[in-house]
Amino acid sequence: MSAPITILWLRRDLRLADHPALIAAAAHAHETSGRLLPIFIWEPGVFAGRRASANRTWFLRESLRELSRELEARGSMLLEVQGPGSSALPALVQHLTTSGTAANEIALFFTRDHTPYARARDRAVAELLAPRGVSVHATRGFTVVEPDELLTGGGTAYGVYTPYFRRWLERVSLNNERPLAAPATLPPPPSLKLPPALQPDHAAIERAAQPTATVALLPVPGESAARAAAERWITAARGNGVNGYAARRNTLADEEGTSRLSAALHLGLLSPRELVSRLLPLPPEREGERSGERLWVSQIAWRDFYTQVLWHAPHAARSSWKPAYDAIEWDTREGTFNAWCDGRTGYPIVDAAMRQLRETGFMHNRARMITASFLTKDLLVDWRKGEAHFLQHLVDGDVAANNGGWQWSAGSGTDAQPYFRIFNPVTQAGNFDPDGAYVRRWIPELAALKAPAIHAPWAHAAALAAAGITLGVHYPEPIVDHAVARARTLEAYARAVKGLPAPRGE
């Protein structure tokens, strides 16, 4: 009979610090005088599915390499296994039992993941393993507050952010426990040779991990780089980092105005709870609604908010959160959608953002709002097409945050604003890229123009002539007239969503 085995199934928690499942699994292995087996399962959907992203797969693979080294440095290892998890785990357990460990000597630990896919998979795994005697333990760790932890007074899920955030802040301030330190050593792994069917297809992973973005512009993978970036963000003084967030977060060209920690948070290289615990409780002078620290903590709460929206309303992953919006008759022409994807709409702010996405795997939050509004409200293209395009490119692509952002922009989601608030891309550009630096960075063919011409070149013939730029030759003519497009969208929305207030002025 071999020693008991505790499997730690790592998924979107690829770190050692503040990792409740890791600490619990290591303690269990100690208590049972057994072995600890950290594993990562390559889900085919992650690297080869419809929503896979080469940028994210690259970031994942590189982050796993660092994690593997760090685990080895602590006397452990990382075993990579071919998925999907729902069949790989039962097969792994079978393999361990045939190698001499009784099923009731095997335990499985993991951090809860809340996407509809992960929930179905984890349920299937537990249903297959528990009857065989394997003990299955799911812990918190991906969010600060678990999605089923906060409900409204009426016992329903929150659909409006502001009251959610109020309760979230109370809850977090009350439970502000100290983060768990990364373990210095870990119980030894079992010696094990995987059967061929469970060995990952490294060649396929390698092919899937060739970034479409420029590698040097992608975030540095791994927990140590993420921790260093978070440290810089939290401790930077004098208007840099989090204390300058309120003033700088909406400036499109300011690459240091926001934390850029989203990819690390998405993969769990960082614990959101640890980040928040570094900032809370806020000192009295930073408690105000406009302090950078409070605003930034509220962004982490947005992440929890959208996670719980999808948890409570999994239908929103495929259809409108507000079902009436499914009746909108979208414009299905591929030409305009492709122009949007390629950054060729003739609206410089939109095109700059789409090119930033393609080249870097990242897009500024304000630019995500502008481009999503443009696709759904100016081009009247189904938000799901934009959602999928973002997921293919974003290195931080996250099912819940992305879906929440898209449905917010399309008006079909949790936004309390009426659907007839439609962003004017030129006004947005003037407000958030006042001197045109962002457009100039991503659309070199317009670099010779100054604001305001750079944001609406079609309306500035003299500036175009002076710069030697011909629309339709050097840069596209606008593919729609915003005023005309707006009227068409208002009509389509009103037709679909009967009973909504009649459209008024912008």
Ligand X SMILES: Cc1cc2nc3c(=O)[nH]c(=O)nc-3n(C[C@H](O)[C@H](O)[C@H](O)COP(=O)(O)OP(=O)(O)OC[C@H]3O[C@@H](n4cnc5c(N)ncnc54)[C@H](O)[C@@H]3O)c2cc1C
Grouping H, G, I as helix, E, B as strand and the rest as coil, residue 246 is helix
**Residue 180 near ligand X by CB under 6 A:** no
**Residue 261 near ligand X by CB under 6 A:** yes
Calpha distance 380→402 (Å, rounded) = 19
Report DSSP state, residue 343: T
Calpha distance 281→291 (Å, rounded) = 13
DSSP string over 398-434: -HHHHHHHHHHHHTSSS--S-TT----HHHHHHHHST
Contacts 24+ apart (CB under 8 A), 454-460: 454/348, 455/348, 455/349, 455/426, 455/429, 455/430, 456/348, 456/426, 456/429, 457/348, 458/346
User: Least Å distance between CB 371 and ligand X?
Assistant: 7
**Residue 406 near ligand X by CB under 6 A:** yes
What residues between 214 and 253 interact with ligand X by CB under 6 A? 249
**Residue 292 near ligand X by CB under 6 A:** no
What x-and-dash track marks residues 346-385 binding ligand X by CB under 6 A?
-------------------x--xx--x-------------
Grouping H, G, I as helix, E, B as strand and the rest as coil, residue 204 is helix
Compare residues 83 and 292 and give the one whose CB is closer to ligand X: 292
What residues between 457 and 476 interact with ligand X by CB under 6 A? none
Beta strands 5-10; 35-42: pairing state: parallel
CA dihedral over 19, 20, 25, 26, signed as positive or negative: positive
Calpha distance 90→88 (Å, rounded) = 6
Q: Which of 243, 402, 414, 489 binds ligand X (CB under 6 A)?
A: 402
**Residue 432 near ligand X by CB under 6 A:** no
From 46-54, 72-80, 399-407, 428-436, span contacting ligand X (CB under 6 A): 399-407
From 164-172, 178-186, 299-307, 350-358, span contacting ligand X (CB under 6 A): 299-307
User: Least Å distance between CB 341 and ligand X?
Assistant: 14
Compare residues 290 and 504 and give the one whose CB is closer to ligand X: 290
Backbone angles phi, psi at 49, to 5 degrees: -80, 180
Q: Which of 320, 409, 414, 428 binds ligand X (CB under 6 A)?
A: 409
Q: Which of 131, 66, 95 is nearest to 5 (CA)?
A: 95
Name 22's Cβ contacts closer than 8 Å, sequence gap at least 6.
8, 13, 16, 38, 109, 183
Contact present, 112 and 275 (Cβ < 8 Å): no
User: Least Å distance between CB 302 and ligand X?
Assistant: 4
**Residue 145 near ligand X by CB under 6 A:** no
User: Least Å distance between CB 234 and ligand X?
Assistant: 11
Q: Which residue is nearest to ligand X (CB)?
A: 405
- The neighbouring-strand residues paired with 82 are 42
Calpha distance 440→445 (Å, rounded) = 8
User: Least Å distance between CB 455 and ligand X?
Assistant: 20
From 21-29, 102-110, 184-192, 298-306, span contacting ligand X (CB under 6 A): 298-306
Compare residues 406 and 420 and give the one whose CB is closer to ligand X: 406
**Residue 401 near ligand X by CB under 6 A:** yes
**Residue 158 near ligand X by CB under 6 A:** no
And the tokens for 8?
């730690």
User: Least Å distance between CB 244 and ligand X?
Assistant: 11
Largest CA distance in the chain: 85
**Residue 262 near ligand X by CB under 6 A:** yes
**Residue 396 near ligand X by CB under 6 A:** yes
Q: Which of 136, 185, 198 is nearest to 7 (CA)?
A: 136
User: Least Å distance between CB 182 and ligand X?
Assistant: 21
**Residue 266 near ligand X by CB under 6 A:** yes
User: Least Å distance between CB 482 and ligand X?
Assistant: 19
Q: What is the binding site for ligand X (CB under 6 A)?
A: 249, 258-262, 265-266, 299-300, 302-303, 306, 365, 368-369, 372, 390, 394, 396-398, 401-402, 404-406, 409
